[in-house]
């Protein structure tokens, strides 16, 4: 596969959905009180941007261990965003019927599935490598 056909983070559904989530967070936080601009608005936007950013950075790394590390960071940012959106709901900054929680859960499911797939592939690769005879010892 040549370099132009190589898949990137932009091809990942989880990255695409995380980008949409970040857009949604930016839109919904526009209606938050002005005195929250440097508080909850800033925190939510930073956490939301961190999710696709870490997915992208992980995908650009050389090893699956590095990739997994960045995916775990993305999961942490998603958990922060979930906490912050729950607080915004409790403070009536978000309407009770806000779909934000559903969007966060969907990204979490996709992210967990990607982490599990990479971890499975790592285990398979490691066990396959352990079966390869060492030809240097002959």
Kindly give the confidence (pLDDT) of every residue in the chain, 138 residues in length, as a single tens digit, with 9 standing for 90 and above.
444 457 899 999 999 999 999 999 999 999 999 998 889 999 999 999 999 999 999 999 989 999 999 999 999 999 999 999 999 999 999 998 999 999 999 999 999 999 999 999 888 776 554 444 444 443
Structure pTM?
A: 0.85
Q: HSE of 18 in the Cβ direction (CA atoms, 13 Å)?
A: 30
> Which architecture does CATH list for 8-125?
Up-down Bundle (1.20)
* Among 103, 87, 104, CA closest to 41: 87
Q: Name the helix (H) or strand (E) containing 96.
A: none
User: Within 10 A of 107 (CB to CB), how many other CB atoms are there?
Assistant: 29
pLDDT at residue number 126: 61
pLDDT at residue number 5: 57
Cβ partners under 8 Å of residue 10, min gap 6: 16
């Amino acid at each position: 596969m040549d370099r132009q056909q190589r898949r990137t983070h932009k091809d990942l559904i989880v990255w695409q959905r995380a980008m949409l989530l970040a857009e949604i967070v930016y839109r919904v936080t526009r209606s938050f009180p002005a005195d929250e601009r440097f508080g909850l608005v800033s925190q939510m936007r930073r956490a939301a941007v961190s999710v696709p950013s870490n997915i992208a950075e992980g995908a650009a790394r050389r090893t699956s261990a590095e990739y997994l590390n960045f995916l775990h960071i993305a999961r942490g940012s998603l958990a922060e965003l979930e906490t912050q959106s729950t607080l915004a709901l409790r403070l009536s900054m978000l309407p009770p019927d806000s779909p934000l929680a559903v969007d966060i859960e969907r990204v979490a499911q996709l992210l967990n599935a990607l982490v599990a797939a990479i971890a499975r592939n790592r285990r398979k690769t490691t066990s396959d490598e352990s079966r390869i005879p060492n030809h240097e010892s002959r």
